[in-house]
C-alpha cells in the first residue's frame, strides 16, 4: 500500500506510474474519498472533544448538566463514526488496488519484450550433436515422469525419480549452505496462508488471484512462491533497529494454476502447477533496499555461476513488474534445445509497500518506521532442466555440475539398468 501522503502530494505521478504498470486508477475519485474521510475525521474529533468537555462538567457538577446536549452529541457521534468507518473501508479498498510505484531507474515499457538485458555471463556450449530438450533427456535417464503424473494429477505435474531427486536435494543443500554462511536464518514455512494475509501481500489484485489455488471453505490459499508465507512472519510487529537486517532462507513446495499460460510451455517441468523452491527474504531499514537488492542479486549470480550455466541478467520494465514490486531482476539460463535464455531465478524489492499492508515496522530513536522488504529465488526446480540440457552428452547421459558432485556422490547420471 502506498502512503496516502505520497498520493496527495503526487497524484499525477502515482496515476502515471500505475498506468506504466498497465493498471488504470481513478486518482480524482480517490482524492475525493480521501477528502471526505478527512472531513469526517475532523467532525468526529470535534464531537469527541465536545463529549469530553461535557464529561468534565459532569465531574465538577454531577447534578447540573444538559442531558439533551449529551444525547445529541452521542447520536451525532455515532452517526459520524458509522459514516467514517464506511468511507474508511472504501478508501482502504481503493488504496489496496493501487500498485507499488516502479523505482526511478526502471525503464517504462509495455511488456517483457521491452525488458533490459544488463549483462551476459558465460558462453553457450557448442555441441557436436543436436542437443535434446530436458524432458527427452529426463525420460531417457528415468529421472522425470510426466506421463504417470498426468494419470494421477493431470497436466503440468511431474514425478522426479532416482538421480532427479538427488539433483533437487543437491540444489537445495548448495543454496542453504551458502546462505546460512551469509547469515540467513533457515526456515521451513507453511504452504497454506490466510486469504486476508495473501491480500495484504498484494498478489491477489489485478487478476493475480486467478493464478492461485484457493480453498474457499477454509479461506486459505496455497502459496505460489515461498516468500508469500515468509514475508508476513512479522505481521503487526515492531522490530528494533538493532535487529535489522533480518534475512531468511526458506524452502517449500509452491502451487500455481498457470491460468494465463494455456497452451504455453506444456512440455516438461518448466511451467508446472507444483514445484519446490528455496527463497530468500530480507527485512531492512527504510531506504536501504537498493543496496540490499544488489546484494541479493549478487548471491543469486554466485549460486547460478557455481553451476557454470550461461546466463543473462535482465531488468524488468514497468509493464512486466508484478503488482507489489518496485524493481525486479531475472536471471535467465541458456537452454541449448531452444537456443534462448529462460528465467531461472529472480529478485525483487517491494520497498515499504508490503510492510504497510502487513503493518511491519521498526523502532529507530523512538520513532517507528515501516521496514523495506525484498525477496529472491535461490533455486527452484527449473535449474534441473537447465542442468540436463547444458551438461548432456551424446550417449544420453548427463555430467553432474562439479559443485553438486559432493552431494550426489557421482560425476555422471546414467540410466539405471
User: From the candidates 15, 356, 382, 389, which is the catalytic residue?
Assistant: 382
Q: For residue 136, how far is the Cα from the chain centroid?
A: 32
Count CA atoms within 13 Å of residue 72 on its CB side.
6
User: From the candidates 343, 363, 364, 405, which is the catalytic residue?
Assistant: 343
Q: What are the φ and ψ backbone dihedral angles of 402, each rounded to 5 degrees? A: -55, -40
Distance CA 373, CA 199 (A): 16
Q: What are the φ and ψ backbone dihedral angles of 253, each rounded to 5 degrees? A: -80, 150
Contact 320, 116 (CB under 8 A): no
Beta bridge partners of 247: 282
User: From the candidates 346, 348, 356, 357, which is the catalytic residue?
Assistant: 346
Among residues 305, 252, 314, which one has the least CA distance to residue 279?
252
User: From the candidates 256, 327, 356, 357, which is the catalytic residue?
Assistant: 256
- Beta-strand pair 327-335/116-121: unpaired
User: From the candidates 8, 257, 271, 405, which is the catalytic residue?
Assistant: 271
Q: 318 catalytic, yes or no?
A: no
For helices 163-181 and 382-390, what crossing angle results, to 10°? Answer: 110
Give the burial class of 39: count Cβ atoms within 10 A of its Cβ; 0-12 exposed, 13-18 middle, 19 or more buried: middle
Give the burial class of 32: count Cβ atoms within 10 A of its Cβ; 0-12 exposed, 13-18 middle, 19 or more buried: exposed
Print burial letters for 202-217: b (CB count within 10 Å at least 16), e (below 16).
bbbbbebbebbebeee
Q: 271 catalytic, yes or no?
A: yes
Residues in Cβ contact with 200 at an 8 Å cutoff, skipping those fewer than 6 apart:
232, 235, 354, 357, 358
Q: 327 catalytic, yes or no?
A: no
Q: 346 catalytic, yes or no?
A: yes
Q: What amino acid positions are annotated as catalytic residues?
A: 256, 271, 343, 346, 382
Amino acid at each position: 500500500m502506498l502512503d496516502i501522503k505520497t498520493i496527495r502530494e503526487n497524484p499525477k505521478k502515482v496515476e502515471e506510474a500505475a498506468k506504466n504498470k498497465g493498471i488504470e486508477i481513478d486518482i480524482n475519485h480517490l482524492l475525493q474519498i480521501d477528502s471526505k474521510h478527512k472531513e469526517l475525521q475532523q467532525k468526529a474529533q470535534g464531537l469527541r472533544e465536545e463529549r469530553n468537555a461535557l464529561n468534565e462538567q459532569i465531574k465538577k457538577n454531577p447534578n447540573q448538566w444538559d442531558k439533551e446536549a449529551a444525547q445529541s452529541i452521542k447520536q451525532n457521534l455515532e452517526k459520524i463514526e458509522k459514516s467514517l468507518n464506511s468511507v474508511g473501508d472504501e478508501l482502504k479498498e481503493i488504496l489496496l488496488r493501487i500498485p507499488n510505484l516502479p523505482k526511478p531507474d526502471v525503464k517504462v515499457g509495455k511488456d517483457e519484450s521491452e525488458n533490459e538485458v544488463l549483462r551476459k555471463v558465460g558462453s553457450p556450449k557448442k555441441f557436436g550433436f543436436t542437443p535434446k530438450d530436458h524432458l527427452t533427456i529426463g525420460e531417457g535417464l528415468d529421472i522425470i515422469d510426466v506421463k504417470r503424473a498426468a494419470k494421477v494429477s493431470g497436466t503440468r505435474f511431474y514425478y522426479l525419480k532416482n538421480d532427479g531427486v538427488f539433483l533437487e536435494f543437491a540444489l537445495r543443500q548448495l543454496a542453504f549452505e551458502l546462505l546460512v554462511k551469509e547469515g540467513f536464518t533457515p526456515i521451513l514455512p507453511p504452504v497454506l496462508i490466510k486469504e486476508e494475509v495473501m491480500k495484504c501481500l498484494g498478489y491477489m489484485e489485478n487478476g493475480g488471484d486467478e493464478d492461485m489455488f484457493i480453498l474457499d471453505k477454509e479461506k486459505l490459499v496455497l502459496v505460489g512462491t515461498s516468500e508469500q508465507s515468509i514475508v508476513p512472519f512479522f505481521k503487526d510487529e515492531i522490530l528494533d533497529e538493532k535487529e535489522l537486517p533480518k534475512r531468511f532462507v526458506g524452502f517449500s513446495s509452491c502451487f500455481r494454476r498457470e491460468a494465463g499460460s494455456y497452451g504455453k510451455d506444456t512440455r516438461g517441468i518448466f511451467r508446472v502447477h507444483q514445484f519446490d523452491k528455496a527463497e530468500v527474504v530480507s527485512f531492512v531499514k527504510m531506504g536501504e533496499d537498493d543496496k540490499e537488492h544488489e546484494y541479493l542479486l549478487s548471491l543469486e549470480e554466485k549460486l547460478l555461476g557455481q553451476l557454470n550455466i550461461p546466463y543473462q541478467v535482465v531488468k524488468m520494465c514497468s509493464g512486466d513488474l508484478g503488482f507489489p514490486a518496485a524493481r525486479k531482476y531475472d536471471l535467465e539460463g541458456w537452454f541449448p534445445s531452444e537456443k534462448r535464455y529462460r528465467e531461472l531465478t529472480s529478485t525483487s524489492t517491494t520497498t515499504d509497500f508490503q510492510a504497510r499492508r502487513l503493518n511491519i515496522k521498526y523502532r529507530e530513536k523512538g520513532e517507528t518506521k515501516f521496514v523495506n522488504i525484498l525477496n529472491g529465488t535461490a533455486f527452484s526446480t527449473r535449474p534441473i532442466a537447465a542442468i540436463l540440457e547444458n551438461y548432456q552428452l551424446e550417449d544420453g547421459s548427463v555430467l553432474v555440475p562439479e559443485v553438486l558432485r559432493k552431494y550426489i556422490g557421482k560425476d555422471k547420471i546414467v540410466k539405471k539398468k
